[in-house]
Structure 1
């Protein structure tokens, strides 16, 4: 679990906040379907309100469970689909800590309890809800919005399995108080509530022509192909070509001197200076482009998966790449149209090795122990491509380059010493940051 630095103790009162409730759309500044980086941007813009924030994810398999941004002092979660990293569900788990405003009415918080009667008065009549006998919870549904009410055991006879009558009041005159509110996309007409019903929520469809999660096809050693706009960006293209095809980069920065150059005893360059190469950063599309500082031609692409648990998490939107591993000088042959020959952000390292073959020992990437609390990663190199792999076996970054001569040398090496020397030549040529 990641935790933001905070200026006050968790759980201390700062006053109940009021957020506008938009059924089927979102709450406050958070909208269903927004990428996780946009949610973090909203949080950063209001640090006095969102100053205690937890980020939760399943480190061993980040694609298995939601990535959750939790606001414990305000009683709600943001649940992001682990593959697309888009907001699929907003879950208010402590209605006393958050006051919701719908039109001109307020509900929730300590002053206006979200009782069944209050909910019904604000949102109006609806169809009978569903009673979960096992959990003892009655869920009331509106389009894109649900309220869960715990039913005391002595009053379970008031409800029945399946659709149940509206429990406006119990025989003793009391009315149930909601324990959970879910806000979700209503376009699929799904009923989303507690338990297994929570899994029915999905992020709303992307608009036509959206570049988010655009497939970026990789032809090793040659080019990137962008499926939405149809752009082809080859190695050797100029900055002008890239601006014309992809638009203005989100950032430009000069590359640090190669950290692997220390392994070349003949290189006299200072080890702490900048080199002439420079990056175009396309944070919103999940990749960087490295230009040679002398020729001003593309020499490298770096594709980011944006997995939590990596030092670059939330710096880039996820790049939805597809690497077609069709052939490496006869080392392996696969059908280009087969998923078994394609490598994507969801492909684990063991499968990459099955597709490309074993590549030998990994280089260790730490990025500095003080600035990287997640530990080291491992860099494996093949002809024209290198993979940075996290400890859980998922790919963190993919570095694409042109080096067509190394594979022949690697394949023809006769001794262990020659093999290790070629690996170091390979790493030096990569020019890692």
Structure 2
């Protein structure tokens, strides 16, 4: 039997450690770390549109349900659906703690126990008086709203009258069917902006803020400019910084992003034949055919994941590795930022298409690589964390856009929320100048089908995609049947490789 979930209510901000604005990856990682307390996790999403429609995470054993927006995967709404499975309390400043429902430690609740708080308790003792609420006739529900908190009561249409006040409408013993925690002055006002409002940083939430936490703000968007130039924007600020492939050093990455969550060094030789061909092409200088050959670009997710779900390295080990100036190819894994960076010796970077807009703010690298063996960032893998995909919940969702394909018109954007069929059309148009004919373009840009779940095929290669089966790890999906879509297709374009799911959404994009 799971232990009772005890949480302090922070109206408009949080319920215990569940903070509005937290990422789906962060919340899932925290919940999965306590299986006895949270024995069952139910993830619900729209299979045909998992990156735009809300994602729902249920805790049936704890009577909690959470809703995240699709594009950013941020926690937007927390609901209490069963008051008997948790202990919620309020602790006003300079006042004693108030229980929403008096908790019981008995397996069988006492005879006088109620399935939830009464209207009188909420209105008189827990939160106090408030304005009249909103009646929803289609659902036959009355919503009693406070700033950041709302309670839903069942009410028949014949019982409701707009001329009555809230105290006259609700009996003193009426028990709500649910409670919601949201950002806003009232439920009526919050509904219109709930899924798009910019929520404050979780780091500013004082009860959970750590005095020693000096990690930088998360990356909210990666803008791909072509030619190996990536602009990373900070959330809640106007600041950005650049990763210049084949120029940015590991020291510069650590200075901007902090130490990686893990460093992965495994070398898998099963895609070595592609490496040889790519190397020979690079030495000869890039031509149109070299740029457009998709099977030369497929070894882009090399070692992008550690060999097991629970990686061994801790902060001290990571810092020691960085201080020692490690030699050899490796990946810097930034799970909580949503991307991985390949550190290796410099190579050739395909330039942007002639029609691509040149950003005048692109900085010049502080210094250029003077030796061929200098270690620099050569590839970046941006992860979509798409629900239902094989690597779901390994990384936080990273949003991106391709600047030379996008315009000021939002409907013409080319980003992480664009179906790949539309993205592919834009890319083919941008790069059509390197193909003699449309037929050859289609032939060169055909996809390569991969399966992550096969133990003895390139699809399971950590060199290519990262596989858990080689280390005895388990699929990180939530619940049975989650994260089992292991077959994906790779599509290559100059400087880009897209990993596309069966439903047509991009699971990851590699920039090189």
1:191 equivalent in structure 2: 187
The answer as to 2:221 corresponding to 1:220 is no
**How far did 1:190 drift?**
4.0
Partner of 2:376: 297
After TM superposition, give the deviation of residue 144 of structure 1 in Å.
0.4
Aligned partners of 1:213, 1:233: CA distance in 2, in Å?
Answer: 13
1:17 and 2:21 matched: no
Residues 16 and 191 of structure 1, relative CA distance in 2, 3 Å threshold: same
User: Deviation at 1:135?
Assistant: 2.0
Residue 166 of structure 2 corresponds to: 165
The offset of 1:324, in angstroms, is 2.3
Report Cα offsets for 1:146-193 as digits up to 9, x if no partner.
Answer: 111112x4xx444225985324655xxx7321101111112xx34159
Give the match for residue 123 of structure 2: 120
Partner of 2:19: 31
**Deviation readout 1:325-380 (Å, 9 max, x if unpaired):** 35xxxxxxxx7656577521101111112101255321122222464622311100
**Counterpart in 2 of 1:352?**
423
Residue 291 of structure 2: aligned partner: none
Question: Any conservation in 2 of the 1:221–1:400 contact (CA below 8 Å)?
Answer: no
Mapped partners of 1:258, 1:215: distance in 2: 33
Q: Deviations over 1:284-337 (max 9, x none)?
A: 2222111226542332111112211222222222222221235xxxxxxxx765
Tell me the distance in 1 between the aligned counterparts of 2:219 and 2:36: 32
State the partner residue of 2:391: 312
User: Is the Cα–Cα contact under 8 Å of residues 235 and 297 in structure 1 kept in the other structure?
Assistant: yes
Task: Using the TM superposition, name which of 115-124 and 13-22 deviates more.
Answer: 13-22
- Structure 1: gaps of 5 or more residues: 1-12, 268-272, 327-334, 402-433
| SS of residue paired to 1:135 | coil
1:80 equivalent to 2:78? Answer no
Q: How far apart are residue 201 of structure 1 and its match? A: 3.0
SS at match of 2:336: helix
Query: Structure 1 residues 374 and 192, CA, compared in 2 at 3 Å: closer, same or farther?
Result: farther
* Distance in 2 separating the partners of 1:375 and 1:313: 11
In the alignment, which residue of structure 2 is the partner of 1:249?
A: 260
Alpha-carbon distance, 1:61 to partner: 0.4
- Matched with 2:244 is 234
User: What SS is found at the alignment partner of 1:243?
Assistant: helix
Give the corresponding residue for 1:365: 450
1:92 is aligned to 2:98: no
> Aligned residue for 1:279?
331
Give the Cα–Cα distance (whole angstroms) in 1 for the partners of residues 409 and 3 of structure 2. Answer: 56
Normalized per residue, which structure has more strand? 1
Select the structure with the greater relative contact order (CA < 8 A; seq sep ≥ 6): 2
Change (3 A) 1:17 1:223: closer
CA distance in 2, matches of 1:161, 1:73: 38
Cα drift, residue 395 of structure 1: 0.8
Write the distance in 1 (CA, Å) between the matches of 2:130 and 2:253.
54
With structure 1 as the length reference, what TM-score do the two structures score?
0.75
Any conservation in 2 of the 1:380–1:388 contact (CA below 8 Å)?
yes
| Residues 23, 398 of structure 1: alpha-carbon distance in 2 compared, 3 angstrom cutoff | same
Q: 1:100 to 1:354 in 2, by over 3 A?
A: same
How many residue pairs were aligned?
Answer: 365
Distance in 2, Cα, partners of 1:266 & 1:99: 62
Aligned pairs (5 A) from 1:126-141: 126-141=130-145
Q: Secondary structure at the match of 1:120?
A: helix
In the superposition, relative to structure 1, how do residues 14 and 352 fare at CA in structure 2: closer, same or farther (>3 Å)?
A: closer
* Bigger shift: residues 385-394 or 254-263: 254-263
The verdict on how the C-alpha distance between 1:150 and 1:340 changes in structure 2, with shifts beyond 3 A counting, is: closer
Contact residue 324 and residue 341 of structure 1 kept, 8 A = no
- Distance (Å, rounded) in 2 between the aligned partners of 1:255 and 1:17: 40
The answer as to whether partners of 2:384 and 2:399 remain within 8 angstroms in 1 is yes
Change (3 A) 1:400 1:114: same
> What's the Cα RMSD here?
3.2
Pairing of 1:416-431 with structure 2 (within 5 A): none
Corresponding residue for residue 506 of structure 2: 395
How many Å separate the matches in 2 of 1:231 and 1:266? Answer: 33
